[in-house]
Structure 1
């Protein structure tokens, strides 16, 4: 007999599927500052998405150093679209239409493509979600505005800057070495001004830019950007008319494609004399530039300084532990045999002021090999714990603070753009414009200074981390090394401190300081 059994409905609790949300962000240049800013955006969006219980974090896509007007060059954007096609993303969050795309045609094309894939875009600044749009009219208008935003902002800024060029009120926010920006004015920094004067005196005395740069680095003089002096830096100082108290405005210009060029006469330039206090006379400045031009003609390479580089890995990197002087390379000629030695400049100039004796090049190289071989043998005990400690540093709080400063700076810029537009249309008196604009410029300088403090701290930690990873990769994959190599030394050592002829300290780029007995 057939038996019929009724199958009851299986009531399964329905689980609401989370929306898979990705974020897209972009910065327009690939500078270190912009890349840290990009990291700040990434942290912000990751926290923002994960804070919503209905959302599932689907990743963050980004482009660095890429223009927003050219879709084809943005690998991060194209990668995100590819993942949308694979069904990995339901919603994309981006800051604004201008960050997503400044070209109207591309913007509409991308939005339509994603809509066909049932993927929506949320533009935060415009408070626009493509999933709730009944038509493309609003998006077309907004993306058209975004496309023209670059042009309108650029034209307004150019107009404003040109007016300030003409009336001499343009503020040089980043003055050259020797000056500081104090409340919008270029003010001489006395100790830096002395260095500038010395550079010009040395040039007139016949010293090469290579020799001047090397001497400044060896003496421990810090350049404008906090690093070593280079031939290009010295050349730029000698060619800079600002040291005479004059300023030539509009040495460069931006074309319609937002590319910067040197102004060879395509646009008017403006010479503002007695703009600020001079460090040099016009006579000294002109003579030094004549010397530089003559040298260029004699060498047949114009102003090209790239063919001259430091010849030795140790150059400028050995510092005296007694007087702080830089060690110079010298050849010693003895009856028993010739050899190369490194000598403290302080001891060379005054033996009574510094008693540090020379160290030989060969012993220094052998000691370096000893130090590196110790790391190769014991990197698990020495380097790995340091790497774990650096990995434990939490950048998120600092990056979120940087993002806050970015937002404040963006608001400041928008306020200045409004002022400029009102001024350009004749709705604002020049006196009021200058007053309000100067206030915003000062606020911008303050915000940038605070942001830069945070960026330097983040950048410093990351630089050490990258250097340590590079060192671990080298030592963990190497046999004991027997031959000295300049490239290995330069790659991993920041400088050497000579404690005595028997003892030196290697200060590595990752922050480690390792003491070694001289071989």
Structure 2
């Protein structure tokens, strides 16, 4: 197929990652930072400004945009909205080169690092890791990327283990990991009785233990009395059930009821004995007596036997 001089020039620019109209590479950037603290939020802004200035200083480059994810883990790309949008726009041919600070900012999962840099390379987009000195369009880039990504992934695993270890130590010291609940406000890792909610909890135990009413009946009666749960507009028997079986109401604390088996996916699972629970008796001010709580447990046991 014959091409004229203009077509040949455009084809060459496209192959070299240049915009066929401006003769410049259209360059995007990707950054990710946790924004739970004020100084990290400032870091996020500074990263965005850095990439814009860095790209605009290069005469052969044309600034496209900065894709930025805030406060999201790098071990998985599933929940990174901007990251996924970046990949989509690369496939649409909207930019030719991607800058990112380092591999750990791009992905801490080795498979993701290799997969997405390959996908970008297929559409002619190179990834330049500034701190690691890797350009994925170079011949040995994938080998170097594999090594560096594996190191980043291992560091992520170690960080996860350190965090879990630190959390468990704090749990053993009595620090509460969790949010406020009906009858208790959780502030700075401590539980404080919320008397308005505590009255509802006592009412539920009284109806169940002393009046021997079912969880369905209790839910119905609470609604009829104009009493509503904390995070819903309607009482359900399952909500009543969880309250009656929650050891916190008699002053005990059981933590690590859920755990994260895979640091890459961050998916939580109910602890069925895979990990050791952290149990502290008489941890905080109870809303109901231990005797009342144990009577509720016996009623559940009796019902189970009948079934």
- Measured against the shorter chain, the TM-score band is 0.5 to 0.7
**2:287 corresponds to which residue?**
279
Q: Which residue of the partner structure matches residue 26 of structure 2?
A: 19
| Partner in structure 2 of residue 261 of structure 1 | 269
Q: For residues 218 and 16 of structure 1, what CA distance do their matches in structure 2 show?
A: 73
CA 1:288–1:152: 2 relative to 1, 3 Å: same
- Secondary structure at 2:161 match in 1: helix
Q: Report the Cα distance in structure 2 between the residues aligned to 1:123 and 1:193, rounded to whole angstroms.
A: 55
Structure-2 residue corresponding to 1:148: 154
- The verdict on how the C-alpha distance between 1:74 and 1:183 changes in structure 2, with shifts beyond 3 A counting, is closer
- In structure 2, what is the Cα distance between the partners aligned to 1:273 and 1:178? 18
1:502-513 matches, within 5 Å, as none
Asked which structure has the greater CA Rg, the reply is 1
Q: Equivalents in 1 of 2:217, 2:253: separation in Å?
A: 28
Q: TM-score, normalised by structure 1?
A: 0.41
Where does structure 1 lack aligned partners over 5 or more consecutive residues? 1-13, 28-40, 301-519
Q: For residues 165-176 of structure 1, what are the structure 2 equivalents within 5 Å?
A: 165-166=171-172, 168-176=173-181
The change in CA–CA distance for 1:203 and 1:265 in structure 2 (over 3 A counts) is same
Q: Structure 1, residues 233-274: CA drift from partner, whole Å, max 9, x if none?
A: 211111110111111232232214644332232322232112
How far apart in 1 are the matches of 2:198 and 2:299? Answer: 21
Compared CA separation, residues 86 and 188, structure 1 to 2 (3 A)? closer
Shift of residue 230 of structure 1?
2.4
Residues 271 and 132 of structure 1: CA distance in aligned 2, closer, same or farther (over 3 Å): same
- Secondary structure of the 2:164 match is helix
Distance 2:226 2:139 in 1: 66
**Does structure 1 residue 230 correspond to structure 2 residue 213?**
no
> 5 Å matches for 1:324-473?
none
Number of residue pairs matched by the alignment: 261
Is 1:111 the counterpart of 2:113 in the alignment? no
- TM-superposed CA distance for 1:218, in Å, is 4.1
Instruction: Tell me what 1:290 maps to.
Output: 298
Cα distance in 2 for residues equivalent to 1:217 and 1:93:
57
Give the 3-state SS of the residue equivalent to 1:234 in structure 2. helix
Aligned to 1:88: 94
Q: Is the 8 A contact 1:245 1:274 kept in 2?
A: yes
1:3-82 to 2 correspondence within 5 Å? 15=22, 17=24, 19=26, 21=28, 54-56=62-64, 68-69=75-76, 81=87
CA RMSD of aligned residues (A): 4.4
Q: CA deviation at 1:171?
A: 2.8
- Say yes or no: does 1:203 pair with 2:203: no
Quote the offset at 1:104 in angstroms: 1.6
Which whole-Å CA distance do the structure 2 matches of 1:292 and 1:245 have between them?
20
1:182 aligns with 2:184: no
Q: 1:123 to 1:239 in 2, by over 3 A?
A: farther
Distance 1:122 1:297 in 2: 65
Q: Is the 8 A contact 2:77 2:84 kept in 1?
A: no
